[in-house]
Amino acid sequence: MMPRSILLSIVLLSVASDVLAQRVRQVFDGDTISVAGIGVVRLLGVDAPEKTGGYREAERLGDQASAFMRTLLAGQIVHLEYDGERKDRYNRTLAYVFLPDGRLANEAIVRAGFAEVYRRFEFRRKNAFLAAEREARDARRGLWAPP
């Protein structure tokens, strides 16, 4: 049997590896960023429109979604939290991204109306994100505003 202090250290390391604090190096678009020590991170549970100059054709409000995330995250020390699969098919890390003040960037962009909830897969915070999307729709913000 392991001594209690070693067991406690293992538990603490396990928890710490699930919530990492690192600096945002770059915001690529409304749902993809680069985080020091991690690499490319895809915000879990959200789908923002494509921006001008990306790999795919630009979509309505894509540039605004990118600008929103740059304002929110650029240079910030963020905490990452994982839920299920840690990588997507493009080898991007899938994570919830928490700001120093405790706000969840994934939910903030949905609430602002610059992203939709990703409905294809289940994830732990889906109901909260759906509520944020309903709030944005009801207030006619961003994607839900008249063109």
- Alpha carbon distance, N-terminus to C-terminus of the chain: 65
Whether the Cβ atoms of residue 32 and residue 40 lie closer than 8 Å to each other: yes
Residue 146's alpha-carbon distances to 59, 102, 139, in angstroms, are 15, 31, 11
Q: What residues act catalytically?
A: 42, 50, 92
The amino acid at residue 102 is: G
Nearest CA among 32, 53, 52, 58 for reference residue 43: 32
